[in-house]
Amino acid sequence: MNQLVIVGDSWSCGEWIHQRRFGEWIHQSDKSLKLNHPGMTEYLPYKTLNLSKGGASNWQSLYSMFNLMNQRQHTDGDYAIIVFQSDPTRSRQADQFDVDVKSFIKTADSLLNLYVKLTEIFYMKIAMFAKQFDVPIYISGGLSDVDESLFSLYNNKENIICTSWIKLLDQQHRPSIIPLQFDSDLFKTAKELDRLDLCDEIAEYNDNNFVEFTTVVGLDTFGPSFCDFHPSRQGHKIMAEHITNFIETQSNA
């Protein structure tokens, strides 16, 4: 393998930090979050191209992957892709794959059903691209954990690098494709679509996850800023070591 390509959202970009103004932390809504460290690319012993983007959806990751593979299909470059799973309900560029996220929200039987359906399509697309371009595509949990049984329906189970990045940093974590922190647009959209039942489920999940979320954001392996829900450079180093061990095992096999 000549090069490793990473796609995902802010979790796989690197370490983030809130900027300070007049000695006080600026609220995250002021868009003061800035990259403070390149993250795992600093520690990986491979030539690495990181196409991750803050706030990216799984659909944007797929789009980046498709463009990259389409450009490289006539070259001799040997590379592999690692995709870090974001919140499946993020809708940016979903229309590129004929996915109407609002329609899924409107018709979902439950919050879990919503996440399962959107995640399943994401896994199907990964399988399709891997076969079409004959490129190894590996996956890791990020903001959302990988559902191993669902992924294995369409992809090789051995292509899962890590089902849960959070669990790699906190052994007490309970893996789930439903994130510990919801995308801010989900509650608003569900309310607009008169899915108050989903709003109630979101509130219930938030209540149930509060203790674990508070514990996780207090770890040294998460952001240096107070309550920053991103892996710190220490967390990225642990993930980089995990990826390196994974690839070495794959190569030896």
pLDDT at position 29, please? 47
The two most distant CA atoms of the chain are separated, in Å, by 55
Q: pLDDT, tens digit, for every residue of 143-188?
A: 999 999 999 999 999 999 999 999 999 999 999 999 999 998 999 9
Q: pLDDT, tens digit, for every residue of 3-16?
A: 999 999 999 999 99
74: confidence class by pLDDT, cuts 50, 70, 90: low
Domains of the chain from N-terminus onward: 3-252 (3.40.50.1110)
Q: What is the C-alpha to C-alpha distance for residues 105 and 90, in angstroms, rounded to an integer? A: 11
pLDDT at position 22, please? 42
Q: pLDDT, tens digit, for every residue of 13-62?
A: 999 987 654 444 444 444 567 888 999 999 999 999 999 999 999 999 99
Q: Which residues pair with 160 in a beta bridge?
A: 139
pLDDT at position 191, please? 97
Global pTM reads: 0.93
The two tokens of residue 78 are: 């040997």
**Per-residue pLDDT averaged across 87-112, rounded?**
97
pLDDT at position 28, please? 45
Q: Is the pLDDT of residue 77 over 90?
A: no
Q: What is the 3-state secondary structure (H, E, C) of 78-143?
A: CEEEEEECCCCCCCCCHHHHCCCHHHHHHHCCCHHHHHHHHHHHHHHHHHHHHHHHCCCEEEECCC
Nearest to 114 by CA among 183, 65, 52: 183
Give me the count of residues in the chain. 253
Strands 137-140 and 79-84: parallel
213: number of Cβ within 10 Å: 16
DSSP string of 143-210, one letter each residue:
SS---HHHHTTTS-GGGEEES-HHHHH-TT----SS-SS--HHHHHHHHHTT-HHHHHHHHHHHHHHH
Q: What is the C-alpha to C-alpha distance for residues 165 and 142, in angstroms, rounded to an integer? A: 6
pLDDT at position 71, please? 87
Q: Which residues pair with 239 in a beta bridge?
A: none
Go through 2-14 and write b for each residue having 16 or more CB atoms within 10 A of its CB, e for each that does not: eebbbbbbbbbbb
Q: pLDDT, tens digit, for every residue of 102-137?
A: 999 999 999 999 999 999 999 999 999 999 999 999
pLDDT at position 76, please? 58
CA 14 to centroid of chain Cα atoms:
13
